[in-house]
Structure formats: C-alpha cells, structure tokens
Chains A and B, each alone.
Chain A
Amino acid sequence: MFGDERTERIIGILSDSFFPILKAGLQFTIPLTLITFSLGLILAFFTAVARISGFKPLVLLTRFYVWIFRGTPLLVQLFIIFYGLPSVGITLDPFMAAVIVFTLNKGAYSSEIIRAAIQSINKGQWEAAFSIGMTKSQAMKRIVLPQAIRVSLPPLGNSFISLVKDTSLAATITVTELFQKGQQIAAVTYEPLWLYIEVAFIYLIFSTVLSYLQDKLEIRYGRGVAK
C-alpha cells in the first residue's frame, strides 16, 4: 500500500506521539472524567432524592434543572460557560469550566437513573426497615440504597463510559486533553488518519479498563441475587 519509507515515517510518528497523547489522557481526560463523575453522582443523588421528596419547590427546581441540562447540547453548554460568561465578568480557567459543565450535565442524566433505581425498590423493603425501628434516612442508607446501587450500576456504567468520550469536547474550550493533544500532533505531522486512529485506540484502552471496574462493582453489589 505504501512505500517502506512512508510506513517507517508513520510508525515513527505513532511511536513518538503515543506517550505524549497518553500523558494528556492521564493528565486531563482521566482526572476530568473521575472528578466530574464523582461530583456528578453526588449531585445526581441529591437531585433524585429531592425529586422524590414530594416537596413541591424542590421537585420543581430539580425538574427545571434536569430539563435544561438534558435538553441542550453539551457543546453549547461548554461554550456558554467558557466563552459566554466572560462577557458578564466571570472568567473561568478551561479545566474548571469543563468540570462545572460536565458535572452539571452528568448530574442531570444520572439523577434520572438513580431516581428510577430507588423507585424500583419494593415498598415492602421500606416498610420492613421501618418495622425494625429505622428512620427514613437509616432505611435509605442501609436497605434501599445498597439495592438501588446494584440496579443502577449498568446504566451508570454506560453513562460513565460515555463521559470518558464526551470529555473530548473539552478540546473545544482549549483543555489540552487527549483529543486536543492528538489534534495538535496531527496538525504538524499531516497524518490525521493514523493519529486519530491512535487517539481512538487510547480512548478504547481507557474505556476497557473502566468497563472492567464496572464489572467488579457489579459483582460486589450483586450479592444476594440469584445467578
């Protein structure tokens, strides 16, 4: 397909670029994913609990929040926060802006997963917990959540892996994460095909490791379920 010289050049570029791109991934993509996923989960949990609390103002507030962040593109949200807010005097560091947007976005989606998982737990579990004298928060923490976590792990795993890939959008607001790094190298080497395949491959490695973690978690929370 190519001359030997061309092949050698591509192999050279790929091996030279592999570690810089991987490093950008470890430095930005992975931390961005882990930080926003953790913060997003906390936000999602409180949003879900507020949503099922039945307390009108909280219900309306959380519905509004989920409506906004699910109903608008992630890319547009990034642009509003990073390029838009400076015009009203709020300037954010790119990484910070990415953390805020991804957290709010993930929080909105995951809150629906967590809400569904909590509501899927049979009412009898709450009653049994109450019958041995538990308060609502004890019943939530000790009885309902451990079961809800098991139900929510597969969809949350999905959402986690899509987040790994979504963080590539942070390139558009100048975060030098994995994809941005690949773009930079592609721009100077004129080998976009091979570089972007390399970028895809590194994302694949990350996703694979994370799926493996998901499997481990599913086993851990799967206790007490008929196989």
Chain B
Amino acid sequence: MITIDNLYKRFDKLEVLKGVSLSIDKGKTAVIIGPSGSGKTTLLRCLNLLEMPDKGTITLGDKTLQITENSRLKQGEIVSFRKQTGMVFQSYNLFPHLTAIENVMEGQVTVLKRSKDEARKKALSLLEKVGLQDRADMYPFQLSGGQQQRVGIARAMAMDPEVLLFDEPTSALDPELVGEVLKVMKDLANEGMTMVVVTHEMKFASEAADQVIFMDDGVVVEKGTPDEVFNATKNPRTMQFLNKVAER
C-alpha cells in the first residue's frame, strides 16, 4: 500500500530525513514513535506532500512519485496524490466558520462534487460513527477538544481516503479526553483502515499497531511488531528511548 524508499528532506541547513525507507501493507496500522525532532512528523507530512521531500520515492496505492532535486510537481499532480490520503492534525484544524457537519461535508461538496444531500447523509453517518451525531450543528468552539478531534477524523474519512494519517492526534488533548479519540482510532484500525499514526501513546501503539516504527535523528532505527519493538528489542537506542518514556 505504502512504500517509501530512501527519502530525504532538509529545512535550510537542518537535515530532517536522512534516507528513510519503509513499507506498510494495506489494512494495517503503523505507529511511528521516536523523540521529538526525530523527523516522524515530517515523514508523515511528506506522505501527503504537505512537505515536499527533496528526493526519494513514495508509492501510495497505484501512484508512484519519484522525486529528485530537480523535480517540480504541478499542483494537479500534488492534489491527485494527496487525495488518496486523509489527515488528522494535532491541533484539529477544524474550519471554525463551519458547523461540525459542514466541516465533514465541505470536502465532499467542493472537491468530490457530491450533492449536498449525499454529502450530508455521509457526514451524518460518519458523525454517528465517531459518536457525535447529536453535535452535528455545533460550531467547533462549542465542542471539547476530544469532540473536535473526532470531527477531524470524520472530516478525513469523508473523502474515502486509502490511508489515514494521524499527526500526534491526542497530544493537545486534556488527559481525560484522550481515551475517546483513541477508541475511535482503534475501531478504525479493527475495521481494516490503513493508518499511519505518529504518537507518544505507547499503550495505543502496543494494542493497535501491526507495525511499530522507531525513528531517531532522521532515520528508521528499528521496525517490527509491537512485541518485537517493545519487549524484545536489542537496539540500544530503542531501549534508551523506551526507558525514558517509561519513566514518565
């Protein structure tokens, strides 16, 4: 489903991704963990081209992008590649001038050209799925962080993406609201949605991930099943990171 080969990205002098390669199968959930500054969010944002990689190859679904230092993609190519993905942001980024249901309808109507009725129907069923059908007509400022993030997930799902990307979806939430978001994510994982999740929630990683990817300093240090990474790692960097997280 997703294959990344030798991906590089730098911001000015700072090299953030130094040759990242990995692959994720269809219907599986990959969780990317690692210390801050390790490049995991940048990697995720390269997957939907919110950041343009400097070089490397990304295959997503049936589209392959070979990026070299000289390539300049047209907006149309970027958009059609990006349409295969949906993204859930750390700070939700709901559209504040639209109600919850309008947030979920917007892309369907504007981008997919669905009729308003059709979009509304789909939006309602998605809001129901994330447990918010009774909040459909509320504006984002009237919702809690956890509710906003669940609307964010519904908004991403509404576009029928091949892959859902989560960028630290619970990091901005009050601790008591984390659970409701993780539950929705677990349900999606169990239904066979392909997901890539950047998170610090180790419990979620061990329970929901098919593959755990540990990144540090711009490279993939280790990848494997949760059991392999969390319980049987031999890699000193992985061990050091896991110990630090466990101390919290």
Asked if A136 and B75 make an inter-chain contact with CB atoms under 8 angstroms apart, the answer reads: yes
Q: Measured between alpha carbons, how far is A130 from B87 in the docked complex, in Å?
A: 10
Quick one: CB contact mask for B94-109 with A, threshold 8 Å, 1 for yes?
Answer: 1111110000001100
Q: Which of A122, A129, A132, A147 has the most CB of B within 10 A?
A: A132
Q: Which of A1-9, A86-94, A138-146 contacts B (4 or more CB under 8 A)?
A: A138-146
A215 to B221, CA, bound (A): 58
Interface residues of B, count at CB 8 A: 30
Main secondary structure on A side of the interface with B = helix
Question: B152 to chain A: closest CB distance in Å?
Answer: 8
Q: Which B residues lie at the A interface, using CB under 8 A?
A: 48, 50, 75, 79, 82-83, 85-87, 89, 91, 93-99, 106-107, 110-112, 139-141, 155-156, 158-159
Which label, helix, strand, loop or mixed, suits the secondary structure of the B interface? loop
Q: Is the CB of A142 within 8 A of B86?
A: no
Contact A132 B97 (CB under 8 A): no
Q: Are B79 and A133 in contact (CB under 8 A)?
A: yes
A132 and B93 in contact (CB under 8 A), knowing A138-B111, A142-B110, A223-B139? no
Residues in B with CB closer than 8 Å to A142 are: 106, 110
Q: Is the CB of A146 within 8 A of B97?
A: yes
User: Are B93's CB and A134's CB within 8 A?
Assistant: no
CA of A142 to CA of B191 in the docked complex: distance in angstroms?
A: 32
A131 at interface by CB-CB < 8 Å: yes
Q: Are A131 and B48 in contact (CB under 8 A)?
A: yes
| Contacts A125-B95, A223-B97 given; does A134 touch B87 at CB 8 Å | no
